[in-house]
A and B are shown apart, each in its own frame.
Chain A
Amino acid sequence: MRTADTIKKGEVAIIDKILPSELTLNLMEMGFLPGKRISLLQRAPLKDPMAFRLENTVIALRKTEAQLIEVILEN
């Protein structure tokens, strides 16, 4: 299973599930939910953090947080 930190620019993925951790709720509250489409918008210089497009919002996460989001690539 891939996690969100491996998404490349131009790829669109569907969130499959959020791995259990103390941040699971925080991620879900911000809108990272199973079934949502997510894509990578920008990587900060030094590759971290990453800015994800989630629906109509852009949210920056560190790599370690993105690793909590399991995704399935579209197509």
Chain B
Amino acid sequence: MPEVLTPEKLSTFTVALIGNPNVGKTTIFNRLTGLRQKVGNYPGVTVDKRFASLKIGDQNTTIIDLPGTYSIYPNSEDEVIVHRVLNGLDKTSKPDFVLAVVDMSSMERGLFLVTQIMDLGLPMAVVLNMSDTAEEQGIKVKTHQLYKALGVPVIQTNARSNKGISGITDLIGDQMFEQPASFLESDRLLPEQLSTAIQERFSLDNSYQAYQLIRFHDKEPILSHEESEWLRQEIKGADFDIKSTQLQETQDRYAAIQQVLETVVEKTDMKKKRLTDMLDKVLLHKIGGYAIFLGILLVIFQAVFAWSAMPMDLIDGFFASLSASVAGLLPEGLLTDLITEGIIPGIGGVVIFIPQIALLFAFLGILEDTGYMSRVVFLMDRLMRPFGLNGKSVVPLISGIACAIPGIMATRNIGNWKDRLITIMVTPLMSCSARLPVYVILIGIAVPAANIGPFNLQALVMLGMYLLGVVAVLVTAWVLKLVLHFNERSYLMVEMPLFRVPRWKDVLITVYSKSKTFVFEAGKVILAISIVLWVLATYGPSSAREEAIAAVEVPADGASEEEMLDYQHTLESAELESSYIGIAGRFIEPAIRPLGYDWKIGIALITSFAAREVFVSTMATLYSVGSEVEDELTIQEKLKSEVNPTTGEAVFNLATAISLMVFYAFAMQCMSTLAVVYRETKGWKWPLIQTVYMTALAYVSAFIAYQLFS
């Protein structure tokens, strides 16, 4: 009989939700925690952890939602998390209890993971979820029998319809988790002497934990050099072969599970045609399937660009007027300037993307939740492969049209490192929404609003810019595939779950929490850079500044309001030109001249290294449009009439505009993306390589574009 673990109840404790992918873990998590949940990052690793604090009775609990996994031996990045949490490698999120979720219609696979956790010796309980689908398929489970076989509490639920959720709450509240006896005699797996030696040295509880340590000692930087050397010697001394043992463990485990299932599962054969199979006939059809996918993509595109335009305008207007009213309220001075010209526009620059990002997440969430996304993976895998990508790269790339950050974070479930790395490296080439304002202004300047047949020429160029991004993604991925060498086999194993009606509430929760993560992740960086840039744009060598300011003609007394405003703008422009940023712009001018840019554009290139959309506001300041004027048309007019003082030609001719668009399409001008790539690849190597190759690509392509069009 299982021993009862908690005679005295803990007043605060942590429960981890664990299970295979698609078993309803997240639904259960959402049902239990609602909107209380937070997204954090696992220390040292880069996967979101979702957690929420709950008060059940008089106890404070923390519930953690872990990524889906088939076993405690991790394959992909998100599965590593489960391993780390279960083995207490993350001190902060070591769970007191485990709630293992099993899909009732595929118990065998679910119990595989459950019994592994049992062998680790963690107090736990089992939730048999999706009882409705199981019943439809003629599967019945004798819960009590299963309890007797496993020795841990078992609850049957159907989380979608909320059935059994209160049972889970009670179970957590009463801490009815039980510490199981080990399921598999792991003593058989590991020579006793070796096991005892390891357990003693690392003060472990059982031989399965010792076995885990052997399995992972060289993967995790958890052991000191001396410790892992000792372990290596021990393993060698015992002549222990980990690979064959693990195979043996897998076989033994399944055999033992089979025995349990024989007594607890009743199966009647149902010859019912499944709706999912019929839908798949259409959705995976070799022509129809792609047509439907293309249609869905078009709807998403339409949403991200057209539907989000209005809320984005509102946000834009709000921050402009906020800036203006704060400027009116606070006394004039540097601090006020920092707030109204650095901080508020900085925050605004992040917040403005919320509508697009939320809409995109909503669509991706719905597609994921219905089960369609894995069909996309299935459809696209073969097509992506020649480019060094795989079916799972499609989701990050689609996300990339709104923002590269969530896209890069979505690469985590790509199982092999090479495919994942290539996807990370190319995702920023997808034309994200921050490029849109840049394209809009430049197309407006350079491309006539004529029609070619039924098509608007400007719209065609815009489409061309997006296609250019896609082509760059494919070509670059292909090159990377040839260049990068990893001894790793590319593979694809995806479960295609049953089609389901999306759970709208869950989709909303996901949209909310992901958008929040985006705002804070990207926000931190953009805000910091905005402040630095503001400082560099406000200060300059004092002599140069004084000269520049003195050179601006002060309007005579009684000048009209318009003249005063003009003076203000000219002054601002002169100040910017003589600031440190202005100096930097002049400094890089020789380098960018071959692309058709002058030093003013150089300033914009520098400022928009933080984030592309800064281009517009910099241009507005440089060409003294005035910072309150948010109207893109005004900027366009100004830019169009700008004449190069030495050559007497227009600064923004077709060649320069196209060259600049191409530059913005390819250059890595996004600090936040770099920060995320740094996190995801755990070092500066890849973000640096990415910056160098993208900048080189941008430079060369812009050069070619300029030569072609001039």
Q: Which residues of A contact B (CB under 8 A)?
A: 21-31, 33, 41-42, 44-49, 51, 55-62, 64-65
A sample of 14 inter-chain contacts (CB < 8 A) reads A23-B491, A25-B250, A28-B254, A30-B495, A42-B280, A44-B382, A45-B287, A58-B497, A60-B378, A60-B381, A60-B492, A60-B494, A62-B381, A62-B491
Contact B378 A51 (CB under 8 A): yes
Contact A44 B250 (CB under 8 A): no
- Interface SS of A by simple majority: mixed
Q: Chain A nearest CB: distance from B77 CB in Å?
A: 15
What are the interface flags for B463-494 relative to A under an 8 Å C-beta threshold, 1 for contact and 0 otherwise?
Answer: 00000000000000000000000000101111
Q: Could you say which of B73, B137, B383, B495 contacts A46, with CB atoms under 8 Å apart?
A: B383
Residues of A within 8 A of B105 (CB): 56
Q: Could you say which of A23, A26, A33, A45 contacts B290, with CB atoms under 8 Å apart?
A: A45
Contact B137 A61 (CB under 8 A): no
Contact B379 A56 (CB under 8 A): no
Other CB < 8 Å A-B pairs besides A25-B250, A49-B381, A60-B494, 13 of them?
A: A22-B489, A23-B489, A25-B71, A28-B247, A29-B71, A29-B73, A31-B106, A44-B379, A45-B379, A46-B382, A48-B382, A49-B378, A51-B496
Residues of B within 8 A of A23 (CB): 489, 491, 493
Given contact pairs A41-B280, A46-B383, A64-B491, A26 touches B75 in the complex (Cβ within 8 A): yes
Given contact pairs A28-B250, A29-B70, A51-B378, A58 touches B495 in the complex (Cβ within 8 A): yes
Tell yes or no: B231 within 8 A of A by CB.
Answer: no
Closest B residue to A55 by beta carbon equals: B106
Contact B382 A56 (CB under 8 A): no
Residues of B within 8 A of A29 (CB): 70-71, 73, 109, 112, 250
Tell me how many residues of B have a C-beta within 8 Å of chain A.
Answer: 40
Residues of B within 8 A of A41 (CB): 277, 280
Residues of B within 8 A of A58 (CB): 276, 280, 495-497
Q: Could you say which of B108, B254, B276, B391 contacts A49, with CB atoms under 8 Å apart?
A: B391
Inter-chain CA distance A42–B494, complex, in Å, is 13
What are the interface flags for B352-383 relative to A under an 8 Å C-beta threshold, 1 for contact and 0 otherwise?
Answer: 00000000000000000000001001110111
Residues of A within 8 A of B70 (CB): 26, 29-30
Tell yes or no: B55 within 8 A of A by CB.
Answer: no
Q: Chain A nearest CB: distance from B675 CB in Å?
A: 32
Inter-chain CA distance A49–B376, complex, in Å, is 12
Tell yes or no: B459 within 8 A of A by CB.
Answer: no
Residues of A within 8 A of B287 (CB): 45
Pick the most buried of B75, B254, B493, B494: most chain A CB atoms within 10 A of its CB.
B493
Tell yes or no: B236 within 8 A of A by CB.
Answer: no
Inter-chain CA distance A49–B382, complex, in Å, is 7
Contact B492 A65 (CB under 8 A): yes
Tell yes or no: B284 within 8 A of A by CB.
Answer: yes
Residues of A within 8 A of B378 (CB): 42, 44, 49, 51, 60
Inter-chain CA distance A30–B113, complex, in Å, is 11
Q: How many A-B residue pairs have CB under 8 A?
A: 100
Residues of B within 8 A of A56 (CB): 105-106, 137, 139
Inter-chain CA distance A59–B383, complex, in Å, is 19
Contact B374 A60 (CB under 8 A): yes
Residues of A within 8 A of B489 (CB): 21-23
Q: Chain B nearest CB: distance from A33 CB in Å?
A: 6
Q: Chain B nearest CB: distance from A35 CB in Å?
A: 9
Closest B residue to A63 by beta carbon equals: B382
Q: Chain B nearest CB: distance from A54 CB in Å?
A: 9
Inter-chain CA distance A56–B494, complex, in Å, is 14
Tell yes or no: B289 within 8 A of A by CB.
Answer: yes
Residues of B within 8 A of A28 (CB): 247, 250-251, 254
Residues of B within 8 A of A27 (CB): 493
Contact B496 A59 (CB under 8 A): yes
Residues of B within 8 A of A57 (CB): 106, 109, 495
Closest B residue to A31 by beta carbon equals: B109
A-B pairs, top 8 by smallest CB distance, nearest first, are A45-B286, A29-B70, A58-B496, A29-B71, A46-B382, A31-B109, A60-B494, A56-B105
Q: Chain A nearest CB: distance from B658 CB in Å?
A: 36
What are the interface flags for B257-296 relative to A under an 8 Å C-beta threshold, 1 for contact and 0 otherwise?
Answer: 0000000000000000000110010001011011000000
Tell yes or no: B644 within 8 A of A by CB.
Answer: no
Residues of A within 8 A of B289 (CB): 45
Inter-chain CA distance A30–B246, complex, in Å, is 15
Residues of A within 8 A of B254 (CB): 28, 33
Q: Chain A nearest CB: distance from B393 CB in Å?
A: 14
Inter-chain CA distance A23–B109, complex, in Å, is 17
Residues of A within 8 A of B71 (CB): 25, 29
Inter-chain CA distance A27–B75, complex, in Å, is 12
Q: Chain A nearest CB: distance from B16 CB in Å?
A: 19
Inter-chain CA distance A64–B329, complex, in Å, is 68
What are the interface flags for B97-123 relative to A under an 8 Å C-beta threshold, 1 for contact and 0 otherwise?
Answer: 000000001101100100000000000
Contact A49 B492 (CB under 8 A): yes
Inter-chain CA distance A24–B139, complex, in Å, is 28
Inter-chain CA distance A45–B376, complex, in Å, is 12
Residues of A within 8 A of B497 (CB): 58
Contact A44 B247 (CB under 8 A): no
Contact A25 B493 (CB under 8 A): no
CB-CB contacts below 8 Å: B374-407 with A: 374, 377-379, 381-383, 391
